[in-house]
Amino acid sequence: MKNILIVNLKRFGDILTTANLVNSYICENPKNKVSLLIFKEFERAAKNIANVDQIFTIDREKFLTLHKNKIFSDAFSLNTLINNLSDIKSTDWDVVFNYSNDRVSTHLCSFFKNNAASTVGISFNNTCSIEYSSEWDIIFNDVITSYKYSPINFIDTYHKMANLTKAKRSAVLRTNEVHNKSAVTNFGQIRKSADGESRKIIGVQLTASTSRKELEREKLITLIDTIASDDRFVPVLLLAPTDTERSILKEVNGEFNNSLISIEADFLALNSVLMNIDLLVTPDTACKHAADLLGTPTIEISLGESPLFKQGVTNEDSLIYTNDVSTRSFSIKECSKQEQNNMITAEDIFAGIEYLLEGKNIERLSDGVTIYHPVSDKLGSRYSWFAGELNEKIEINRHIGRQFINNFFGLGEDLSIYADVGRYSKDGIASWLNTEKSVLTEFTKDLLGALRSLTGNGSSRKNEFIHNLGTLLSYCEYDGINAIPAIIFRARVEALNTSNIDHSTKEIEGLLYELKGDLQKLHKTFKSFEEFIFNKGKEDRITARKESTSMP
């Protein structure tokens, strides 16, 4: 049995995703006890997660008030916080997990280290240098945050960090029996059309945390009208019990003479709703995460700064819509400055509804729109291009970056990744390989130059080494897969705990040889990929030739 504390200082949706990890810990051993530390304002989401032993909260507003009040010193505010955490500090933990990975959570996890047999995720040492519990922490803290089109999502990375097998979904969210019975009865009535035919229910989430993530109001109304006008479907509008969302509902439903069905639900009641609809259409919201946890098929509309490749839905019966990812920024700061140009139309989304619920092929999409489909592989959930705009360079970088991670951790080849990329043009793949292999060659030369500069003495040699080290670190900014081993190397260098330049040089020499090994793994990845694609291409041509000669 393990006593586990997960520190998650994020918002509602991120709190809900913790349910994946809680579920896996409980499936590993039903006697495990998992507790959460969260901000108090998001406690409603935490109470929605099944199998949580204790929920500890930090009243952020209270401490900020004390901090800003000139009557009290900062020491008083800090002392109040420490007293607030006394129950956690006095408990012996087998695992303290830094889930949110921000500066505050890292300080807190470091504060709890003396009471923990182990920590998962980054923490600080006594000199406030970062300490990694494993190299999966580097993937989470450095690679995913630096690499624009992430090759792996957060949920799968958390499980790798904890050395946990991701458990199949079970009772991951709490439900209320009264709500469940009511939902079954009410939705049974909603399904029946006037002529007695059974219709499929489509939940439509109206809002997101920011307007940048939302479908434009005109398109939303057009989509709802298209669903409502089809005898096969019935739309149900979903909203949280807030004045803001009620106001939006009033405006939207007013377009339909207030004839639409709407459901206002808190988190606990929402679970019963999501379990009884056939499909959810939503932007990036807490509702999306709840539906994904409950296995409800979802069409996610990924707009604004929504972290598509880090936190997209993972249910394989779902689809993710996005504008051409080459035009997107996933930064809140950048998105807040840019004018949003959403190409996704109501017709595009309705085509996805018909595909998921009726099996009808998606024949066309608007220009500049891409659909992704979650699929399973060795690392977890992979976002596979499904339809629409295709940027081969970005997709190959994502997928082969994923395969490099497999090789980096000694997990072996995953041929399903190569097969996925094998759908793209051979010319595009060959061009990508030539470019990346050329960059890898230069990267290797620069690495060997850095190693040679370590062999001499004197200030000129030292300056040459510093210059060569800077050259190696510049690959972190490269827009391609070679950036991944460079980012890992940078994280290792930054984690060095020494102020002595000579001692640092010796440690960096060891890290340079580790980098050399990583570049060899990248070379192996390229070689395996190339052999799979072009040997497969030859086999395809032979098969096609045989079929053509056997035709009457």
Looking at residues 93-101, what average pLDDT do you find? 96
Q: Mean pLDDT over residues 166-193, rounded?
A: 89
| pLDDT at residue 230, rounded to an integer | 96
- pLDDT of 24 strictly over 50: yes
Which of the two residues, 497 and 344, has the higher pLDDT score?
344
Q: How confident is the model at residue 82, as a pLDDT?
A: 87
Whole-number Å distance between alpha carbons of 96 and 172: 21
- Residue pointed to by tokens 């420490």: 82
Around 59, how many Cα atoms within 13 Å sit in the side-chain half-sphere?
A: 10
- What pLDDT, on a 0 to 100 scale, did the predictor assign at position 69? 77
Q: Based on the number of CB atoms within 10 Å of its own CB, is 85 exposed (0-12), middle (13-18) or buried (19 or more)? A: middle
pLDDT at residue 546, rounded to an integer? 46
Indicate if the pLDDT at residue 544 is higher than 70. no
Euclidean distance between CA atoms 408 and 501, whole angstroms = 29
Q: Is the pLDDT confidence value at 267 over 60? A: yes
Give the Cβ contact number of residue 224 at 10 Å: 22
**Around 421, how many Cα atoms within 13 Å sit in the side-chain half-sphere?**
31
Q: What is the dihedral of CA 170, 175, 177, 182, to 10 degrees?
A: -110
Closest by alpha carbon to 365, among 349, 353, 381, 342?
349
Task: Say which range, 62-66, 99-103, 170-174, 542-546, has the weakest mean pLDDT.
Answer: 542-546
What is the pLDDT averaged over residues 263-285?
Answer: 94
Identify which has the larger pLDDT, 405 or 500: 405
pLDDT at position 340 over 80: no
Cβ–Cβ < 8 Å for 473, 492 = no
What residue spans define the domains of the chain? 3-161, 178-390, 426-539
At 66 the pLDDT is: 76
Average pLDDT over residues 71-79: 78
Given a cut of 80, whether residue 460 has pLDDT beyond it is no
Q: Which residue is associated with the tokens 């972190």?
A: 476
Tokens, residue 160: 């790798």
Section 185-192 average pLDDT: 93
Torsion sign over Cα 408, 410, 415, 417: negative
β-pairing, 233-239 with 200-205?
parallel
> Which CATH code of 3.40.50.2000, 3.40.430.10, 3.40.50.10260, 3.40.50.620 fits the domain covering 178-390?
3.40.50.2000
515 pLDDT above the threshold of 90: yes
Residues 271 and 203 sit within 8 Å (Cβ to Cβ):
no
> Across all residues in the chain, what is the average pLDDT?
92
The Cα diameter of the chain in Å comes to 94
Q: What is the pLDDT of residue 539?
A: 59
Q: What was the pLDDT predicted at 532?
A: 93
Instruction: Return the pLDDT at 537.
Output: 53
Superfamily of domain 3-161: Glycogen Phosphorylase B; (3.40.50.2000)
State mean pLDDT over 179-196.
90
The predicted structure's pLDDT at residue 347? 98
Question: What pLDDT, on a 0 to 100 scale, did the predictor assign at position 543?
Answer: 45
Whether 316 shows a pLDDT value over 90: the answer reads: yes
- At position 252, the amino acid (one-letter code) is V
Cα distances from 325 to residues 36, 283, 309, 330, in angstroms, run: 35, 16, 10, 10
Average pLDDT over residues 284-313: 96
**pLDDT at position 64, please?**
79
Segment 29-52 mean pLDDT: 96
Q: What is the pLDDT of residue 538?
A: 59
C-alpha span between 54 and 516 (Å, rounded): 46
Phi/psi for 450 (5° steps) reads: -65, -40
178-390 shares the fold of 3-161: yes
Instruction: Write down the residue that tokens 């090759």 correspond to.
Output: 151
The radius of gyration computed from the CA coordinates of the chain, to the nearest angstrom, equals 26
Residues whose CB falls within 8 Å of the CB of residue 297, separated by 6 or more in sequence, listed in order = 278, 279, 280, 315, 317, 318, 356
Mean of the pLDDT values across residues 418-445? 96
